[in-house]
Chains A and B, each alone.
Chain A
Amino acid sequence: MNQRPAIDLADLPTFGHGPRSPTWWGTLGFMALEGMGFALAAGAYLYLATLWPNWRLSAPAPNHWPGTIVTLLLVVSLVPNHMLNRYAKQCAMGPVRIGMVVMSLLGLAPLIVRWFEFPALNIYWDTNAYGSMIWVLLGLHTTHLITDVGDTIVLTVLMFTRHGYSGRRFGDVGDNVFYWDFVVLTWIPIYLLIYWVPRLG
């Protein structure tokens, strides 16, 4: 088929941040499907909770303190997370490196406290369906926490190599910030569901 030149795109940039970049949209897509998974697991919990009038099935209430500490750590981590995003947009290597190290540590900290959250549930997964569901909810979020912390650490190492000096890498840092927001935000309803909803009944 014959062709005629219509536009020249030689001056277009080679990377973009946020919604300009396809990776941002891909991350959003995965958030949507994982968020759907969270919503369905939470829905299954509420379905069983409304089905059984004596829900919690005479299990002891969970100790909320480890969960509350995790929540506080996660919420606090949003501040450096968004400072990091600003530096990534400016492609400022020094502050981005510091920010990535800080975010790796702030990812590991709730993971350590999370270790103490499971026994604080005061029930095992195989005791009854209530125990199964809160282990599932906590396990689902822990999986996300582990994978995102792993991802953050690898990216931190990458930013200390020569591969870091690339617009694309700074875009990756921005997407990592975006995904951490998701990990924090999904925790809030799960936290309420595990520790506070059973106390209502």
Chain B
Amino acid sequence: MSSADLTSERDLPPEREASARGDIAPERDGPRDTGMDDASLHRWLARTWRTPPGIIGALSSVDHKVIARRYLITAFLFLCLGGLNAVAMRIQLSGPQRGLIGPDLYNQLFTMHGVTMMFLFAVPIVQATGIYLVPLMVGTRNIAFPRLNAFGYWVYVSGGLFAWVSFALSMAPDVGWFAYVPLSGPEFGPGKRADVWAQMITYTEVSSLAVAVATIVTVLKQRAPGMSLDKIPLYVWALLVTSFVVVFAMPAVMITSTFLILDRLVGTHIFNPAEGGDALLFQHLFWFFGHPEVYIIFLPATGMVSSIIPAFARRPAFGHLGLVLSLIAVGFLSFGLWVHHMFATGLPKLGASFFTASSMLIAIPNGVQIFCWLATLWDGRPVIRTPLLFVFGFFFTFVIGGLTGVMLASVPLDLQVHDTYFVVAHFHYVLIGGSVFPLLGAAYFWFPKITGRMMSERLGRWHFWLALVGFNAAFFPMHIVGLWGMPRRVYTYPAELGWENINLFISAGAVLFFLSFVLFAFNLVHGALRGTPAGDNPWDAGTLEWATSSPPPSYNFARIPVVTNVEPLWAERVALPVASGLRVDARELIISTVAEAHPDIREKSATPSIWPLLAAIAVGATFLYSIFTPWAIVWGAAPIAVTLVGWFWPKGDPEDEE
């Protein structure tokens, strides 16, 4: 193939001459990779793309894999903490009127459980998986805006620390993960607990918005030559749609938390009905974010499923186009459902009916996806390994959660079971079934790529069955106890109600489910230290991340692949076509056109920098200080401005010039 096949005259306009015109210094050209032997190429690229040694070096890293690894480990730690919250609550509820935990601590526990799982585990871990995999899958050397990505991680960590240090000081939010006013407002939420909720939200949303923008630009502009829209892997599509949903949904929760803190801190009346505000406005704004949030967590998981199934069914996904269109349809529809969280607030009947209809409508594209996956398995020759087992667990669990979802979409039933354990059961089936099971499958699937070693298949199977049984034992009975009328968010219940046996059973299931994660953690550590070496492509899968070594080198690909098929490694079994002509002494990567992925620019990727960390510290300190005084915004502006200037000011590297 020649360059003419991929690059038409139209796509390389005369700007090339423009670059030589005008008042710009001529490009100080460096050595290129054309014709270079593999050993020298590796030496050059390893030196150019390395993360500097030492602590400052490590803190300056902008390598998407390094940042993603930190994200994954941090999010896993928050999962453990949130899980321990849940275990503590289940021990308290295992019998009637147990005195282990009082109501005040219990309120903090369920709030921290929800906040941690949603904002510190679920969203960060799906985004982190994307930070690791998307650049590899689209065949580029780093994520777009690598420093912004590093900044996002540091802001996320400071938000998480802030919340958990507050919990240690008994200052954690105690108003539920959605912190409704008036309970969280200035009148009924004294102290700083609701402020901690509001600012912690702001931190984590800043971080996830930054990652979303970086992901979108990576997918639109950094795809390997030839990867036109129809050849983008399904996982990458899922992350692209998710990132768009983040961009349009997350501002809603930032507006909500900002309005709340303004009401609490400087005496605005936005949510105060006595002075012309409205408490329901909070719910509208929150759920305008909150419902898409479910799909922010779920869509990447469907992308994982769409990666795992073809690899083990040994054929490309059935209905590729249908799967992509379903993802996009779900992304759009996710914005039209939020009011179904508010059926109990006495909204007009017609409005409620509209949201019932749209809530049922979204089951259609989700159903299309499920049938495409089943067809892929049906037509393939499935090899049952742990990742695929977790996909089966996902089908089973998520379909149950989806069915109770369709039930809850009807207003009369919703009113009956509102705020009962039936709802708790429903959303754990959806979130754990729809997201955690695929994530666990993804962990087994991509672990070899990240560490270069395999996880134990035997322990994996034990883990799967323990998780499936433990999960269903813990959550299925909640449907029943919910229908009996047990409300959520109560720290105990009287013995006369007859709920003790079923609650004891639920608690036993929860402990079993928790143990399955202990086994998983052991398998992770054991695999990383002692696992059998994996090689580049242990599953013989077809997408680009398997074309490089495991773990991938700092520069991902010694030569950028040229894509000819949606499963490039299956289409080019003999030799992978690659591009040449890039500099090896500067961090060069290819910018391509949005639709056709014609190579267009040799762009320089940012070098390591400590400034994103310093900027995150300045931003974090400002947010922290702002729960005490609004002047924090004024005083914090100066250090934030200084660190941002330090971040963007060129340091004279070849990457800064051109």
Contact = CB atoms under 8 A, between A and B. Distances in A.
Contacts of B247: 29, 32-33, 36
B187 to A, nearest CB: 14
Nearest to B288: A40
Contacts of A14: 19, 27, 601-604, 658
Interface in A89-112: 89-94
A26 B648 contact: no
Nearest to A4: B575
B432 interface: no
B7 to A, nearest CB: 7
A89 B579 contact: no
B269 A37 contact: no
B34 A40 contact: no
A128 to B, nearest CB: 4
A66 B374 CA distance: 64
B285 A7 contact: no
Contact of A22 (B27, B144, B263, B577): B144
Interface string B140-163: 000011001000000000000000
A15 B19 contact: yes
A166 B581 contact: no
Given A25-B221, A166-B25, A37 B255 contact: yes
B259 A165 contact: no
Contact of A13 (B576, B601, B650): B601
Contacts of B22: 90-93, 170
A81 B373 CA distance: 52
A127 to B, nearest CB: 8
A51 B216 contact: no
Interface stretch (B274-282, B294-302, B359-367): B274-282
A82 interface: no
A126 to B, nearest CB: 4
Q: Quick one: which of B268, B562, B574, B658 has the most chain A CB within 10 A? A: B268
Interface residues of B, number: 89
B102 interface: no
B656 interface: yes
Interface in A1-17: 1-17
Interface of A is mostly: helix
B221 A22 contact: yes
B277 A132 contact: yes
A158 B217 CA distance: 26
A196 B1 CA distance: 62
Nearest to A40: B255
A5 B558 CA distance: 12
B250 A44 contact: no
What DSSP secondary structure best describes chain B's contact surface?
Answer: mixed
A17 B16 CA distance: 11
B23 to A, nearest CB: 4
B267 interface: yes
A131 B269 CA distance: 8
A92 B21 CA distance: 9
Contacts of A94: 23
B496 interface: no
Given A9-B3, A40-B285, A4 B577 contact: yes
A26 B145 contact: yes
Interface in A136-195: 136, 150, 154, 158, 163, 165-168, 170
Interface in B185-221: 209, 212-214, 216-217, 220-221
B590 interface: yes
A129 interface: yes
B227 to A, nearest CB: 13
A141 to B, nearest CB: 14
Interface string B2-39: 11011100001001101101111101000010100000
A11 to B, nearest CB: 7
Contact of A25 (B25, B217, B277): B217
Given A9-B590, A21-B601, A125-B266, A93 B579 contact: no
Given A93-B22, A133-B270, A163-B652, 4 more contacts: A1-B575, A12-B601, A13-B19, A37-B254
Smallest CB-CB A-B distances: 6 pairs = A91-B22, A10-B581, A6-B577, A93-B23, A129-B276, A132-B268
20 contacts: A3-B559, A4-B577, A7-B1, A7-B580, A8-B580, A8-B581, A9-B582, A12-B12, A17-B15, A22-B144, A30-B213, A33-B250, A36-B247, A44-B259, A47-B284, A91-B23, A126-B269, A129-B278, A163-B657, A165-B25
